Structure 1
Amino acid sequence: MTDWLVRTFLSGVSTTEPAGRTRYGQFAGIVCIICNVVLCIAKGIVGFIAGSVSIIADAVNNLSDASSNIVALLGFKLASKPADDEHPYGHGRFEYLASLTVAALVLAVGINLVITSVQKIISPEPTEFGPAVIVVLVLSMAVKSWMAFFNGSMGRRISSETLKATAIDSKNDVITSGAVLAAAAISYFTGFDLDGIAGTVVGAFICWSGFSLVRDAIDPLLGRTPDPTLIEHIHDKIMSYPGVLGTHDLMVHDYGPGRQFASAHVEMAGEGDVFASHDLLDNIEQDFLKEGLVMTLHYDPIVTNDPRVADMRHWISIHIKEIDPRLTIHDLRTVPGPTHTNVIFDCVRPHDLSMTNDELRAAISKIVTSKYPQAICKITIDNSYVSSQQ
């Protein structure tokens, strides 16, 4: 059905362009609002007739979901605004703010449900169980299952954290409705009222879900580690060009879906034509731009015609992994002298390495001088801004 809806209402709309992403996101929001409002009305009527706080709470949860969908709609609209003088990187992070707002609403609903359910445990009231309760809850589970699939599919099409969060919320609603149905059935057949207990459990589950969504929404705003798949793609693409010997110091900045900027250093032979090297880097940057990634590359010339330097670079790069297998070096060069040789290079350390920079320099120097006693290491420590597995 999702494909039919896309073909019918979004035919020819690109998912890579900001305007296309906005239309996809807004369409998903409208569909979800309609579904949630219908479910809210149906559950509200049945819950009021049956006197079930858990069913009424489930109805309120659907109303909250509809409010979240409205927030998501607004987020997509604001995120589509073009760049201006005050925001040269665009307004894409509005989508992340929308995700955070949705998560906060989910958390607030969960807290309110727990309070209401605890009150019913303290002051219980009879709950009716009949065909209407069964029908509305089963219908809710079916609709929410489809909504979870729909939002997940749409979220993957446009790489939207907001829609992915909505899909998770819909999956949670399936579980909560199932819990309400089970509690109502048990209460009816055993005479033991589980409505307040079920409401409390459902509320606690919603709170946990809301907390997880808040955490996931905050991550991109704080600047989370880039997707390892993206890092691998960037690395492999740069290394695929002739003349490229290595790449390092990769940084990726996320200003919202489809608005990513990256920079990296590229090692090339220092003996080559500098103009040809610069031209190649320009071509690589333009190829990344075609993929929607704004890339800035820095040219690092390295010596390739001195086998002693090449052997030293290779030996050091292997043996520093005795300290930590994630350590890497780059830009190694030497300045020979009559009594000693300055060995100058950069070392990239993972952020969670327990050693200080001075301790790391001392440990590396000890390893290098064990092989090259005349070496004096001049080491610059770089922090890794991508996955430490790279």
Structure 2
Amino acid sequence: MIEWIIARSEGDRGRVGALAGVVCISLNVLLCIAKALVGILSGSVSIVADALNNLSDASSNIVSVLGFKLASKPADPEHPYGHGRFEYLSGLVVAVLVLMIGVELVKSSIDKVLNPSPVEFSLALVVVLAGSMAVKLWMAHLNRVLGERIKSETLLATAQDSKNDVIATGAVLACAIIAYVAGIELDAWVGLAVGLYIGWSGIELIRDTVNPLLGQAPDPELVAHIRSKIMSYPGVLGTHDLMVHDYGPGRQFASAHVEMAAETDPMESHDTLDNIEQAFKDDDGLIVTLHYDPIVTNDPHVVDMRNKIDAMAKSIDGEASIHDLRCVPGPTHTNVIFDCLHPVECALSPSEFKRKLGDMVVEEYPEAVPKITVDEDYVSAEQ
């Protein structure tokens, strides 16, 4: 099935997700019908709850399919960065549906706790629930493999959800067996637990889908990869002011400043930056824009000053750093102009940090007038 989906998709990421969703919709609907029939006939609220969980999964799959379809739409004049965030929006809708179903299950289970009724045990009950667990394990495998192939958080989340369903269904089956063997009725309580479990999953899904829409910090591994790749090129002395913008899976854009020796031919430096940008596009599918920052490397005084001021910044906060330092001498004083990265978790506010660093610079260089621009850290999650 996995290879069939890959072959049918012809390399189209959106089609892989859509086909996987269609398969999961079909299986979840069948499981829902089978469990609902057994649950109603046996009078088991926990089995009915499990059936509704499958229905919520099918609803989630439908929204996911729509999300993949809409996200695959090409860019247009009104949306030059594409429509990739539809996948995040579809995930948010799914999360809300899951939460709503969880709330309803909790309400029905509480009613069953207050008004208990016996559960009728049958072979059909065991067969349906055991079969459901086997199907869900296969669905987890399907979505995990495809999710890893196309790097889809949606499919990977679906895989995890299927694994969770195996646990939930196993609990329901165990409850039915215990009631039959020992005469202990746990059905309503297990239904309540399943409802709470589904509701909590919905809350977590809402959090996970809202974060990228709000502009969460980029993956630390991606940040490290971008920096290390830039630094691997000859002539690159440093990089800073990295920003990563996420417009949906496979639609990430980045920008950064790259420090190169001012003494090097600017045309040669720009050629290096062009090569780096092209390499990111070819190797990583990442659109990167790099800004050329020439720095003086043949003036010992400037180099020493840069190192000392950077050490001053780090003495205030270990994650701070400076860049773009240049000196403009005058008859009475020297303007020392530089940017400083202000870490998000720094104990000092940007203005306090700037004031303290400026005082330290003047103490070390009495003739200096520091002109400091404070930069915010937009990739702080990697710190």
Aligned to 1:258: 250
Aligned to 1:35: 27
Aligned to 1:211: 203
Aligned to 1:320: 313
Aligned to 1:288: 280
Distance 1:179 1:373 in 2: 73
Instruction: Give the superposition deviation at 1:277.
Output: 1.8
5 Å-filtered alignment, 1:80-159, equals: 80-159=72-151
Instruction: Give the superposition deviation at 1:292.
Output: 1.3
- Picking from 347, 352, 376, the partner of 1:359 is 352
Distance 1:388 1:43 in 2: 44
Distance 1:295 1:151, change over 3 A: same
5 Å-filtered alignment, 1:244-255, equals: 244-255=236-247
Q: Please give the secondary structure, in 2, of the residue aligned with 1:84.
A: coil
Q: Deviations over 1:290-335 (max 9, x none)?
A: 1311111111111111011111211222232221111111111122
* Conserved? CA contact 2:53–2:198, under 8 Å: no
* Conserved? CA contact 1:96–1:217, under 8 Å: yes
* Conserved? CA contact 1:172–1:206, under 8 Å: no
Distance 1:66 1:76 in 2: 15
1:10 and 2:6 correspond: yes
Distance 1:257 1:14, change over 3 A: farther
Aligned to 1:349: 342
Instruction: Give the superposition deviation at 1:370.
Output: 3.9
Q: Cα RMSD between the aligned structures?
A: 1.7
Instruction: Give the superposition deviation at 1:117.
Output: 0.5
* Conserved? CA contact 2:220–2:381, under 8 Å: no
Distance 1:282 1:205 in 2: 51
Q: Deviations over 1:189-240 (max 9, x none)?
A: 3333211111111100111111001110111111111111111111111111
1:72 and 2:60 correspond: no
Distance 1:38 1:129 in 2: 21
Aligned to 2:269: 277
Q: Please give the secondary structure, in 1, of the residue aligned with 2:7.
A: coil
Aligned to 1:330: 323
Aligned to 2:294: 301
Distance 1:166 1:97 in 2: 15
Q: Deviations over 1:100-158 (max 9, x none)?
A: 11111111111111011111111111111232222222222222122222212211211
Instruction: Give the superposition deviation at 1:176.
Output: 1.2
Instruction: Give the superposition deviation at 1:388.
Output: 5.2
Q: What's the TM-score once normalised by structure 2's chain length?
A: 0.95
Distance 1:37 1:47 in 2: 15
Distance 1:224 1:203 in 2: 30
Distance 2:90 2:175 in 1: 34
- Picking from 363, 376, 379, the partner of 2:369 is 376
Instruction: Give the superposition deviation at 1:389.
Output: 4.2
Distance 1:292 1:223 in 2: 20
- Picking from 44, 54, 78, the partner of 1:52 is 44
* Conserved? CA contact 2:323–2:339, under 8 Å: yes
Q: What's the TM-score once normalised by structure 1's chain length?
A: 0.93
Percent same amino acid among aligned pairs? 61
* Conserved? CA contact 1:326–1:388, under 8 Å: no
* Conserved? CA contact 1:99–1:165, under 8 Å: no
Distance 1:357 1:81, change over 3 A: same
Report how many aligned residue pairs link the two structures: 382
* Conserved? CA contact 1:350–1:388, under 8 Å: no
| Residue segments in structure 1 that go unaligned for 5+ positions in a row | none
